A and B are shown apart, each in its own frame.
Chain A
Amino acid sequence: MGFLLLWEVAARLAGSRLLPTASAVVAMMAHEAASGDLLFNLGITLLRVAASFAIAMVLGTALGLALGVWRWLDLAFDSWLIVLLNMPALVLIVLMYVWFGLNEPTAVIAVALNKLPSTAVTVREGARALDRGLMEMARSYRMGRLATLRHVVLPQLHPYLFAAARSGLAIIWKIVLVVELLGRSNGVGFAIEEYFQLFDVTRILAYTLAFILVVQAIEWGLWQPLERHVNRWRR
């Protein structure tokens, strides 16, 4: 709220077309939402975010778990991870587009590949800290692999998974915009490129604001309730 106020005052003082007031941006957001463009582009982008996020989290968690549990695998893949971790997102996206074409699966996978290594690294830390005593308990009581994963391993990884999910969502939606800007003909990234060419800062900020609202809604509506649920056993 304080931020919005500061923005409003600064913009009114500047009085420039390049820094629209907060009220103008909100009004534009409502206008764009009413026309349907905003919701369409936002929806497309969110779908891409969701797909990339799901791939990065599932594969990253599986990889991180395997790396944390098996040392030889960790040694074999460690340098690969460092390469992927330090590969600029832009380079990875351009290479993927060049190799596999300007299509939807390539876009989604390119984004997922940008996030996957950091998920794997975070989960690996969690997997290294797994409680051996509980694993032995599960083994001696002959719990199956799936039951062990679900009831013994994953609950211990929850804090790491939440950390990976939060930072992941933030990074992924930024990268999705780049992917859209470079090689898609719809989505928030595509729209922003259009408005960039027109120097339409009001619309650019309206899209940004809309996305921030969505992310905040996910935080309040999904992560926090989910976190409360999985942490219900903590005193």
Chain B
Amino acid sequence: MILEVAIRHKGFGAGKAARPVLADLAFSLGANEIVAVVGPSGCGKTTLLRLIAGLDAAFEGHITWPGLARPRLGVVFQEPRLLPWRTLWENLALVLPPGQEGAAEALLHRLGLWPHRDAYPGQISLGMARRAAIARAFAVAPDLVLLDEPFASLDAANAALGRAILLETWCARPTAALLVTHDLLDAAALADRVLILAGPPSRIAAEIPIAPDQRRNDAASAERLATSLRAAIAKGAISGS
């Protein structure tokens, strides 16, 4: 167990405009486990990630890291969020903890970014920038990687490519990861466990473990898994609550 989340209440605004976003939302995350949090756009998924990343401390409840004094995070945002005025390598080097340079180099080689290490983010394609952002998140030897809809703005083919790259990276450096997405296909392709959010305010409506032999298979079986997940959810996991 590396992360325990127990959020009683998180809202935005005050007075009449107050709007609860998350309520009574609790789950935990084990080492090297990938958990997908799935919900419709605007249901508070990004808010949840921001709470876990420590970017927003205004909520009721607690988020604890058993056994970790200062958890190290890798975050993949919706956009790459690389520093445009630093080269690809500098973008990684700036956040690397001491001694991780070799591992970061290996990761860049593996993702085909090494030849572009001295390019500025504006000089490479957006796809490469996304890959670099994923590499950065895994290169810092994180205790947990947070992924905020990393493939949301991609077409189907590129999203599939993105999932493959993410999987490749995770295999190279396994770590706990929390993937927030509106797309069940992301969850089916990557997760050990799927949490379905429903609301508002959002809470966990269903928790679906993926059988070990169905985890992280090829794209076709991910499609089939996503379809069966969709069917299971429609059958009542959410509405039956």
The interface of chain A, by Cβ under 8 A from chain B, is: 133-134, 136-137, 139-143, 147, 151-152, 155, 230, 232-235
By a CB distance below 8 angstroms, the chain A residues around B79 are 133
Q: Of B70, B75, B120, which contacts A140 at CB under 8 A?
A: B75
Q: Report the minimum CB–CB distance from B31 to chain A (whole Å).
A: 20
Assess whether B122 is in contact with A235, with CB atoms less than 8 Å apart. Answer: yes
Given A234-B122, A235-B123, A141 and B84 touching (CB < 8 A)?
Answer: no
B54 at the A interface (CB under 8 A): yes
| Known A141-B73, A142-B73, A235-B123; further 18 A-B contacts with Cβ < 8 A | A133-B77, A133-B81, A134-B81, A136-B55, A136-B77, A141-B74, A141-B95, A141-B136, A142-B72, A143-B94, A143-B95, A151-B86, A151-B94, A155-B85, A233-B86, A233-B120, A233-B122, A234-B122
Assess whether A137 is in contact with B77, with CB atoms less than 8 Å apart. Answer: yes
Write out, one digit per residue, whether chain B residues 51-87 have a CB within 8 A of any chain A CB (1) or not (0): 0011100000000000000101111010101011110
The interface of chain B, by Cβ under 8 A from chain A, is: 50, 53-55, 70, 72-75, 77, 79, 81, 83-86, 94-95, 120-123, 136, 140, 146
By a CB distance below 8 angstroms, the chain A residues around B73 are 140-142
Given A151-B94, A152-B83, A155-B85, A141 and B140 touching (CB < 8 A)?
Answer: yes
Most buried by B among A139, A233, A234: A233
How far does the alpha carbon of A141 sit from the alpha carbon of B120 in the complex, in Å?
Answer: 20
By a CB distance below 8 angstroms, the chain A residues around B86 are 151, 233
Closest 10 A/B residue pairs (Cβ): A233-B120, A141-B95, A155-B85, A137-B81, A140-B75, A233-B85, A140-B53, A133-B81, A235-B122, A136-B55
By a CB distance below 8 angstroms, the chain B residues around A151 are 83, 86, 94
How far does the alpha carbon of A142 sit from the alpha carbon of B95 in the complex, in Å?
Answer: 7
How far does the alpha carbon of A143 sit from the alpha carbon of B94 in the complex, in Å?
Answer: 8
By a CB distance below 8 angstroms, the chain A residues around B85 are 155, 230, 233
